[in-house]
Chains A and B, each alone.
Chain A
């Protein structure tokens, strides 16, 4: 283990120069990036195993788990994938975006170690609490909606985990502080800026989490007598959705990073890309209100204002990134003379057989078309009536955090294996197809979830919908879609396992590479002419984004049509 974490040779100050990115990397930064990323991969393994039980219970032809076991597996699935896999990786991304990109040492490395230990202990505590849940407690799922009680240890674990993340983030904040002290007239690199915005959104979410979970813990152990369900929902979603916005901002930061290093992308407009990040900072937290659209107690105008992210400030930000990232690739590759012919020559000629690139690109496409569009549609106040708590909701967030963020973080691991761990990939043909295999299988499973939810009204968080005791009513009409879902889910799990096989196999048995630039050819340099980047053609990207907008408009119209057929409400 120690060997995995310390694989390079460093100069007297503890730095080495990366042959792929040209960055100066400090030993402590590298060590903790690896430690957090490896732990994230372990969480991915646990979450992946639980996916088998969740998917094969919902596909009732198999019906793997009984209801109590199903809810426990569903909780394990949610916490290990949506929280531990993501958040451990995001701390690694903060250290990459902060000290690694800025070429600085890790300040207060002891804090990183303490934060890591607290996070790990809390993650184990949460998993233990879920696995040993007994009446009158219930498995928490992700949301632990009060007043349904979850195990006391669970709430305590969550509070500790939040504190651990805050501690682990401190070295990042100190890094940014020192950088600005030393270079007050120099702007952060875009990747550091994205990480910085991510960290602020994260801090807001984490404080919201403390406001939620400390009183809830006190209520559960009997110190506080009453907990209000409406209060809990409003407070919980500060972290419940806030944590997903961390995933979003971190993922986009990684998109700018990886498309640049392996694809030759450049930043076509610092002004617009940074404005987009700032829009997230101001508006995205309001978006959490979309979890309350079908709730009593909050007025329609409150719902309209907050979910519209104040006239779609955050949606606008995502639309800007949706153009800026492919445009960066297009202009950057045209500048370097890479497949510059025609509308899409830059795209066809991209390194599609490099899993770092393909996983990133597929993540961008799938996130936009599936996760992004479904999110905006279900976030419209009235449309939410037809989505709320159906399988369409897990459909949406498998479009965002699985097809988007998980694929992107897989790309980051594929990148880190040679570049930080100095290991060549094993099973190269498998590694080449894995992102495609995963994107297609998971994409199909996700689309089935969306159809099952919106077109059949199949509820989420339900172990059996093919029969309801005491009535003939059931959702048997949806069973063909469940069959497609079940098969696609099994394939997606196999594709996820392939990723773990390549990642862990490479760590343990991969050939040692002293110069990672040989196996991960960087496209950072080249294209030395002086023409400013914004003068290169971005017509291909413009065409792609117009296609995206057309799909968006069609899905939007279909959803309103479905709603308009219903009986009169309100």
Chain B
């Protein structure tokens, strides 16, 4: 009788396990190593890694940075055309400062992301394929610089997917990626 309701006496640690159970434990260890190895490996050989430095910054200082960036960019009817590789975007209740923006396909940009007030989400997908989407968390006081390169031209929609108040559902912005 090996009941889970009875106290154990004697050397129960020394009792052998069934061979199938031992085999399953070995399989599980190998599977765990595969999961870990693939994830770490993707950091080196994969193209999608949310990797980039974070800086502490006050919202007011970021606003000044974004204003300077806007000065340097070309303002068009459809949105900002950044002068260099840096793109500044800030989420706030209830919109995205710095959007819309026009990017060149195939060029790598450094996205500088933050929030002016509360926590927000930065959820992006191209208009033509909802399944191609990612989300990042934006925090006030933190500027996250993440490189991104969009190869497929088109309109990319950005929504907030972190609850930020009653108007949360209205937050929307776009990127335009051109040939």
Which A positions have Cβ atoms within 8 angstroms of B?
Answer: 21-23, 67-68, 71, 101-102, 135, 138, 141, 145, 147-148, 183, 185-191, 228-230, 233, 256-257, 260-261, 266-272, 292-297, 300, 304, 308, 311-312, 315-316, 319-320, 323-324, 327, 331, 376, 380-382, 385-386, 388-390, 454-457, 459-465, 468-471, 473, 475, 477-478, 524, 532-536, 538-539, 541-542, 545, 549, 552, 556, 560, 562-570
Contact status A229-B140, CB under 8 Å: yes
Closest Cβ of chain A: how far from B142's Cβ, in Å?
5
Inside 8 A of A324's CB, which chain B residues have their CB?
21
Contact status A268-B121, CB under 8 Å: no
Closest Cβ of chain A: how far from B31's Cβ, in Å?
7
Closest Cβ of chain B: how far from A311's Cβ, in Å?
5
Asked if B123 is an interface residue, CB under 8 A from chain A, the answer is yes
A560 vs B49: C-alpha distance in the bound complex, in angstroms?
Answer: 12
Which of A261, A296, A386 has its CB near the most chain B CB atoms (within 10 A)?
A: A296
Asked if B90 is an interface residue, CB under 8 A from chain A, the answer is no
Asked if B29 is an interface residue, CB under 8 A from chain A, the answer is yes
Inside 8 A of B61's CB, which chain A residues have their CB?
none
Inside 8 A of A381's CB, which chain B residues have their CB?
39, 43, 49-50
A261 vs B32: C-alpha distance in the bound complex, in angstroms?
Answer: 32
Closest Cβ of chain A: how far from B84's Cβ, in Å?
18
Inside 8 A of A270's CB, which chain B residues have their CB?
2, 8, 12-13, 15
- Total A-B Cβ pairs within 8 A: 312
Contact status B121-A459, CB under 8 Å: yes
Inside 8 A of A141's CB, which chain B residues have their CB?
163
Asked if B169 is an interface residue, CB under 8 A from chain A, the answer is yes
Inside 8 A of A469's CB, which chain B residues have their CB?
170, 172
4 closest A-B pairs (Cβ-Cβ)?
A312-B32, A457-B133, A296-B144, A459-B161
Q: Which of A71, A267, A319, A570 contacts B28 (CB 8 A)?
A: A319
Q: Is the interface of B mostly helix, strand, loop or mixed?
A: mixed
Q: Which of B8, B40, B130, B139 contacts A475 (CB 8 A)?
A: B130
Asked if B85 is an interface residue, CB under 8 A from chain A, the answer is no
Asked if B80 is an interface residue, CB under 8 A from chain A, the answer is no
Query: With A268-B18, A312-B36 known to touch, is A300 a contact of B43 (CB < 8 Å)?
Result: yes
A565 vs B151: C-alpha distance in the bound complex, in angstroms?
Answer: 11
A228 vs B59: C-alpha distance in the bound complex, in angstroms?
Answer: 13
Inside 8 A of B73's CB, which chain A residues have their CB?
none
Contact status B166-A71, CB under 8 Å: yes
Contact status B21-A272, CB under 8 Å: yes
Query: With A71-B166, A296-B139, A320-B28 known to touch, is A538 a contact of B20 (CB < 8 Å)?
Result: yes
Asked if B125 is an interface residue, CB under 8 A from chain A, the answer is yes
Q: List 23 A-B contacts (CB under 8 A).
A: A22-B5, A147-B140, A229-B119, A233-B119, A266-B3, A308-B39, A311-B33, A311-B36, A315-B32, A319-B31, A327-B18, A381-B43, A385-B135, A388-B137, A390-B161, A461-B161, A468-B170, A470-B172, A533-B2, A545-B24, A562-B131, A568-B148, A570-B51
